[in-house]
Amino acid sequence: MNAKSTPTTGTQADPATGSPVRESQNVSNAMWGGRFSQAPDTLMEAINVSIGFDQKLYAQDIVGSIAHCKMLVEQEILDSAAGEQIIEGLKKIRVEIEEGTFEFKNALEDIHLNIEGRLTEIIGDDAGRLHTARSRNDQVATDFKLWVRDTIDAIDEALNVLQTTLIDQAEKNAAVVMPGFTHLQAAQPVTVGHHLLAYVEMLGRDRGRFQDARTRLNESPLGSAALAGTSFAIDRDQTAKELGFDRPTANSLDAVSDRDFALEFLSAATITSLHLSRLGEEIVVWCSAQFSFAKLSDAFTTGSSIMPQKRNPDAAELVRGKSGRVVGALIGLITVMKGLPLAYSKDMQEDKEPVFDASESLGVCIAAMTGMVNDIEFNIDRLKDAAGEGFTTATDLADWLVRVAGLPFRKAHHVTGELVRLAETSNRNLDELTLDEMQSVESQITDDVFSVLGVAESVSSRTSYGGTAPDNVLAQVKSARERFL
């Protein structure tokens, strides 16, 4: 959108005082009406103006105004001829904004007054009838809810695509073994597919949180007016239905002062960004020369200005870094809202920028992560070798001692620890110990123990529900497609 935003310029005499007043301030006072005889200070205008960011709400403002206009006509509060003029004027304004010919004016403060001002230029004084039975308080709350709702729908679609990409990679790598970690120390072998499906589950919960937030926000504030409702015989059910809300809000004070929906959106966005950040961190580690678990193509890496050998996973790092912006947006808005009495206060103008910024950051992170997951190539041989490092089948040995040799688990744990120490001191893996060496620690060990000491055998044995066995992973892939896609 390349619409123009113009600064305030020009002066003329104030008719009440004869003092010079900027032309733009007269425009502002005309919108406000007769209460003020002097223009606001330049600094007041600078701190008060929001058109630089709330112009993002133009589509929702126009949709909400059209719904309000239709209701006023239906209720015979507004005659049909004026209503038709208003609706056609609003549609024209939307075209102007989308084509980039609309002139946004700082003097008109926000998107609502900018649209109303332009509507007045198009149709004349009848434009002022549109504001009957509403306030900017319920107007902005309605616009903002509509915007957040639209954004949730877009994020859900993007997360669906990311889940699809992860599931596809999980299916492709269902039997590829890799080391599983706790404390970033080698713990037990898992499969790449199993690892990726963990993020599918996280993103599924993220989508659920967004949908829960959407359900709670889907009540229409329109018609609550400034804070107390209106004496006009309006039909709030009609406007709620027209705008796709489930119902009108039950309390006018709550309706204009509620920003729970924005906080809940930011909370869901924060948790999602943290999940993306964790995956980003893993990609950074996997692509390091020291791990060499995976590789990203040139499409998602950059070089160094001085070190020609470098292939930096910048996309993954930026996904990790941008999570801080989303977290900051949540904390910032919580801080704004924490001490506000009912109903509306101008502090609440600070609600939109963090939401807009967090939404943009999250959107680009989801897209970047989808691209990286689709692009990544796993080093299968290196992963298999690493899966056997660090005595990762020790738990399999302990389980065998319980299951086959009949040892209590605590004793099996102790015996396994002794065998790990024996292998470690001789710089060998567990499966490289001889049977005689093992029996010197525990006489009940037999040749059968070697059937559980390989990494492939280890992952294949993990057949409990939700486990890492390749057959399980394929079943989980099928289930995930049914549940999420």
Q: Which residues pair with 103 in a beta bridge?
A: 4
41 token code pair: 């200070």
* Consecutive H or E run containing 31: helix 23-32
89 token code pair: 């004027």
415 token code pair: 């015996």
From the candidates 183, 305, 443, 464, which is the catalytic residue? Answer: 183
From the candidates 37, 80, 288, 304, which is the catalytic residue? Answer: 304
- DSSP conformation class of 454: S
Cβ pair 134, 222 in contact under 8 A? yes
From 82, 74, 71, 77, select the one nearest 123 (Cα to Cα). 82
Residue labelled with tokens 């710089």: 427
Cβ pair 143, 239 in contact under 8 A? no
Residue 52 CA to residue 440 CA, distance in Å, equals 78
Q: Among this protein's residues, is 183 annotated catalytic?
A: yes
Q: How far is CA 191 from CA 104, 181, 295, 484, in A?
A: 55, 12, 17, 21
Q: Among this protein's residues, is 275 annotated catalytic?
A: no
Q: How many CB atoms lie within 10 A of CB 11?
A: 13
For the chain, how long is the longest CA-to-CA vector?
107
> What residues act catalytically?
183, 304
